[in-house]
Amino acid sequence: MQLDIVIPCFNEEEVIKEIHLRVKKILEEIKGKKLIDGYNIIFVDDGSNDGTFRILEKFSQKDQSVKALSLSRNFGHQAALSAGLRFSKGDAVISMDADLQDPPELIETMLERFNEGFEIVYGVRGDREQDTFFKRTSATCFYKLMLWFGVQIIPHHAEFRLVSRQVLEAFNQYGEVNIFIRGIFPFIGFKSCKIAYKRDPRFAGKTKYPLKAMLKFGFEGITSFSVVPLRIASVVGAFVCFISLLASALGFLTYLIGNTIPGWTSTVLPIYFLGGVQLIFLGLLGEYIGKIFLEVKKRPLYIVRKVLSANNKNNKNFFDLN
């Protein structure tokens, strides 16, 4: 039984040493207990512009179990994670963030669940006490909205999860460019379970998800899995039509009685309002068309510049190694 750990890193020079140390310690313990035969720690350097690559280069030469993919530029968290998952050949793979917010000590519990027959083990945040009030409330609203839009998402689960080889093979069949990984796994199915954990604060460095990136990511999640927003356009349209029919009937009635409606306001305001509503939905339609545009081009999700591994001294590329 081979276990792989996939860790995407973008400008994480301050945390790599620590995460390597803690993950390695746990994996050695698990190996000692004969729960696994071997393991790889697969780091993905997502085009970092700090010392991340140099540190990974050193680690991959010193430690046989460290493999590192260096991407040609910053492709984003989801692409970097996909690269690591696709590279893995393990019987089970655990993905986790580099900043130690996902406690490596849970790896053993995840493995126990896997051995009980669960093909996907989701790490779910037990509480969000560490978060600011804003992040806590916005996250809860986001998950509610996602579920309402019909997206099968596990609330308060990020990317800390174990998946079996079979699930990973299924995941690898998803060739979409607009990728929202945490939405794909529940969609794949298989027997799954959740384990609750307390998410620690970031060990060092800064978050790579400021508010703007978080909103973009949330919007990506909804539009990648749900067409309900488009349907809302039809519902709003039908509602506005109904109201305007009533208003027309009222106008006609007052005309028959002999009072014409004098108002400028009642004429001009709906024009502005409906103009706004139309533009919003036109924009929304544009978002989906934009996605189709990106999907049909089938551009690669990421490009691997280098594969670092102690037994890859000749610097073979990604494709030769796979």
What residues line the site for ligand UDP (CB under 6 A)?
A: 8-10, 12, 46, 74, 76-77, 80, 97-99, 101, 207-209
SS3 state at 265: helix
10 binding partner (options Mg ion, ligand UDP, none; Cβ < 5 to 8 Å by kind):
ligand UDP
Least spacing, CB of residue 209 vs ligand UDP, in Å: 4
Of the two residues 190 and 217, which places its CB atom closer to ligand UDP in the complex? Answer: 217
Least spacing, CB of residue 61 vs ligand UDP, in Å: 22
| DSSP string over 31-86 | HHTTS-SEEEEEEEE-S-SSSHHHHHHHHHHH-TTEEEEEESS---HHHHHHHHHH
Least spacing, CB of residue 206 vs Mg ion, in Å: 10
Chain CA centroid to CA 149, Å: 17
Angle at 214 between CA 191 and CA 92, to 5 degrees: 30
How far CA 117 is from CA of 23, 59, 79, 190, 193, in Å, comes to 23, 34, 29, 10, 10
Do the beta carbons of residue 253 and residue 219 sit within 8 Å?
no
CA dihedral 90, 92, 96, 101 (to 10 degrees): -140
Q: Distance between CA atoms of 223 and 221, rounded to whole angstroms?
A: 6
Per the structure block, which two tokens stand in for 172? 């690898």
Of the two residues 113 and 208, which places its CB atom closer to ligand UDP in the complex? Answer: 208
Of the two residues 48 and 309, which places its CB atom closer to Mg ion in the complex? Answer: 48
178 binding partner (options Mg ion, ligand UDP, none; Cβ < 5 to 8 Å by kind):
none
Of the two residues 12 and 119, which places its CB atom closer to Mg ion in the complex? Answer: 12
Per the structure block, which two tokens stand in for 93? 């793979």
Of the two residues 166 and 207, which places its CB atom closer to ligand UDP in the complex? Answer: 207
149 binding partner (options Mg ion, ligand UDP, none; Cβ < 5 to 8 Å by kind):
none
Interacting residue ranges for Mg ion, rule: CB under 5 A: 97, 99, 101
Least spacing, CB of residue 170 vs ligand UDP, in Å: 23
Supply the DSSP symbol for 11.
S
Of the two residues 11 and 101, which places its CB atom closer to Mg ion in the complex? Answer: 101
45 binding partner (options ligand UDP, Mg ion, none; Cβ < 5 to 8 Å by kind):
none
322 binding partner (options Mg ion, ligand UDP, none; Cβ < 5 to 8 Å by kind):
none
Supply the DSSP symbol for 6.
E
8 binding partner (options Mg ion, ligand UDP, none; Cβ < 5 to 8 Å by kind):
ligand UDP
Of the two residues 22 and 31, which places its CB atom closer to ligand UDP in the complex? Answer: 22
Q: Distance between CA atoms of 195 and 113, rounded to whole angstroms?
A: 9
Q: Distance between CA atoms of 191 and 240, rounded to whole angstroms?
A: 45
Of the two residues 8 and 90, which places its CB atom closer to ligand UDP in the complex? Answer: 8
12 binding partner (options ligand UDP, Mg ion, none; Cβ < 5 to 8 Å by kind):
ligand UDP
Least spacing, CB of residue 264 vs ligand UDP, in Å: 50
4 binding partner (options ligand UDP, Mg ion, none; Cβ < 5 to 8 Å by kind):
none
The total number of residues written for the chain in this structure? 322
